Amino acid sequence: MRETPLVPRCRLGELTVVRHGQSTANAAFAAAGEDGRAPRALREAGDAAVPLSPLGVLQAERCGTLLAGRVPGADLVLCSPYRRAQETWQIMAAQVARLGRSIPPVLVDERVRDRETGVLELMTPADVRAEAPEEARRRARTGEWCYRPPGGESLADVALRVRDVLAELGAAVPGAHVLVVAHDGIAVTARHVLAGIGSPADLQRVGNASVSSWEGDGRRLRLVAFGATNHLEGLPVA
């Protein structure tokens, strides 16, 4: 019988996690499917340098409109150092300003970077099967939550750094609404951390430019929405 998880203390008033808009890598992987290979030029550029696609730009604008409509808005923005997240926030901020709202202060923190995939960086499933078949087998055996590629991180590793940054935010800005502009893995692991010790690992992913939110009561944060995309209605499906 599973016991009730031990929920961590977090004094934030509200937490919102926005995944970056569609990147050129996301578009390339979607086009490749399960059996296609990633373009060599994409892999050579490196994950941290991947920019937004044209659709990602439109998605980021919608996120900015959503933020501008919030009263009150965010008190602080925490952004990943990766290019696609930086571009997402810059477009969001420009849209917020265009709609006559004040732009909250922003901090960049490497702990909300994307999951590092080491030697498998920017490789499609077909790339991995062709170039690192033993890693493909080990990944299948280990499971996605605990699989750590050579030189990279597991989602369990990402959860540790997300746990640290959430604890520090709760202590540094109690009662504040913090907006995090980052990645799928950050939203997934934030949900796991905030669900508490003893909560099961949940691999439900979130889409590009999706919004996940938690509300606080001064002691803990409770999940309100995970991976919401209502604000993207009318845009092409990624």
Nearest 5°: phi and psi at 69?
A: -80, -5
Reported as a single tens digit per residue, the pLDDT across 61-114 is 999 999 999 867 899 999 999 999 999 999 999 999 999 999 999 999 999 999
**Residue type present at position 12:** L
Reported as a single tens digit per residue, the pLDDT across 116-125 is 999 999 999 9
Residue 72's pLDDT is: 79
Q: What is the mean pLDDT of the chain?
A: 94
Q: What is the pTM (predicted TM-score) of this model?
A: 0.94
Candidates 214, 208, 207; CA nearest to 15 is 214
If 0-12 CB within 10 Å is exposed, 13-18 middle and 19+ buried, where does residue 124 land? buried
Report yes or no: 78 and 112 within 8 Å, Cβ to Cβ.
Answer: yes
14-230 — its CATH code?
Answer: 3.40.50.1240
The arithmetic mean of pLDDT across residues 50-69, rounded, is 97
Question: Which own/partner pairs from 123-131 qualify as long-range (CB within 8 Å, at least 24 positions apart)?
Answer: 123/38, 123/43, 124/29, 124/32, 124/36, 124/37, 124/38, 125/34, 126/32, 126/34, 126/35, 126/36, 126/37, 127/37, 127/38, 130/37
Distances (CA, A) of 137 to 125, 131, 140, 141: 11, 12, 5, 6
Share of the chain above pLDDT 90, in %: 84
**Residue type present at position 202:** D
- Has residue 238 got a pLDDT over 80? no
* Residue located via tokens 């599973």: 2
User: pLDDT higher for 32 or 159?
Assistant: 159
Rounded CA separation 116/126 (Å): 19
Write down the domain spans for the chain: 14-230
The arithmetic mean of pLDDT across residues 123-147, rounded, is 95
- Has residue 193 got a pLDDT over 80? yes
